[in-house]
Amino acid sequence: MHTYMDHEAEPQLSDWFDPKKRPDVITTTDWLAPVIWEGTYNRQVLEKYYKRLNITVGLVVWATEKFAGQYLKEFIQSANEHFMNGYKVIFYIIMDDFSRFPPIELGPLRTFKLFAASKEKRWEDVNVVRMRNLNVYIIKHIQNEVDFLFSMTINQIFKKDFGVETLGKSVAQLHAWWYFQNAKNVPYERRYKSAAFIPFGEGDFYYHSAIFGGTPQEVLTFTIEYQRAVTSDNNNGLSSTFECHLNKYFFINKPTKLLSPEYNWDPTFRTPPQIKHVKIAWQPKDI
């Protein structure tokens, strides 16, 4: 696989990203990472670069228990249409019951691989098991097959092109619920003994665990740090949410690219004028 940022011809940020095009929203972080909104990026400039590299992008999704079947079919069908059009894509589908895999037709350049989800013990948190699985599969397979990797939850549906403007070393998704709310109210972990602790008055954004990505190595690093943090909490008799741990990780390890709420929108909300094009919408729970 190509090593990210190894190539001299990589476009500069100013070659493809114009934050002034969206004065109505935050387009650049304090650490100068771009926040990708509709209108801020020139995908064609990036296309020239990534086409030349002949990249492959991986997308991991868990389809366990009730989330197999219709959820999986709609997720993959919509991703087949809108995710990284024109590039090689591997869908990594992690299932606990392969017999529930629905019939799926993929376009050119798209393949899928089925991986078995290990059974969690009754007392284990499902996210701990998932990150342990992801860790193993990145090491055994994924890191040798793709240049970039996204992990997404299955109860989403792609609505518009999710393209190469989203690629980066470390990619975080701004949370649709919390982006437009008072930052003082975000649900960070506030117990100081927790490994996910973020003090009051600190924190950058509230990130959604439904989408995160980057290079396989960066995603692998997160899985390692998450498992380490959960072990620390367990030793202190604490339990925090996966999303809180993800937010703490990105607080310490600043993402190099942030995706605006347009990339992961809840359609039950009244859509504000800042949301120009919804790339992915949350699925209702009862499809």
Q: Which residues are annotated as a binding site?
A: 67, 175, 243, 266
d(CA 221, CA 198): 20
d(CA 56, CA 54): 7
Detail the residues annotated as belonging to a binding site for UDP-N-acetyl-alpha-D-galactosamine.
Answer: 67
d(CA 214, CA 280): 18
C-alpha 188, offset from chain centre: 19
Residue with tokens 């342990």: 132
243 included as an active-site residue? yes
Query: 83 with 162: CB under 8 angstroms?
Result: yes
Alpha helix positions (H), the chain? 13-16, 43-53, 70-82, 126-140, 176-179, 216-235, 242-252
Query: 259 with 173: CB under 8 angstroms?
Result: yes
Amino acid found at 151 = S
Query: 196 with 245: CB under 8 angstroms?
Result: yes
Work out whether strand 35-36 and strand 257-259 pair parallel, antiparallel, or are unpaired: parallel
Q: Specify burial of residue 200 (Cβ count, 10 A radius: 0-12, 13-18, 19+).
A: exposed
d(CA 212, CA 210): 7
| Residues with active-site annotation | 243
